[in-house]
Amino acid sequence: MSDYVPIDCNFYDELVLLSMRRTRITFVPNKYNVPEDDYIVDLVTEASKEEFMIMKSGIRIRLDEISAASDNLIFLNAGERFFDEEE
């Protein structure tokens, strides 16, 4: 069984608008190394009920990893380990 948590319908609608407008997206933090000129080409729901954002570059991001969106910025959830300094 998946641990996916569905996102709010209004938030999903915001992502659809970003996709329709082909808005260039900046991810914070950019933990998937998404290129600066990338944009959403599709939003898909798999048989497991998990929802994904598909970027022009082919990168797939599960929607419950997104904590917020503002204009062209999408904020991703990141654990503390992501921000740990490299040794």
Decide if pLDDT at 86 tops 60. Answer: no
Domain total of the chain: 1
Mean pLDDT for 9-18 is 94
pLDDT at 82 over 80: no
Is position 36 within any domain?
A: yes
- The 10s digit of each residue's pLDDT in 31-69 is 999 999 999 999 999 999 999 999 999 999 999 999 998
Alpha-carbon gap, residue 46 to 37, rounded angstroms: 26
Q: Which domain holds residue 57?
A: 9-77
| Residue 63 domain flag | yes
In a domain, 29, yes or no: yes
- At 65-81, the pLDDT tens digits run 999 988 899 999 876 55
Return the amino acid letter for 78.
A
Distance, in Å, from the CA atom of 22 to the CA atom of 36, rounded to the nearest integer, reads 13
| Type of residue at 79 | G
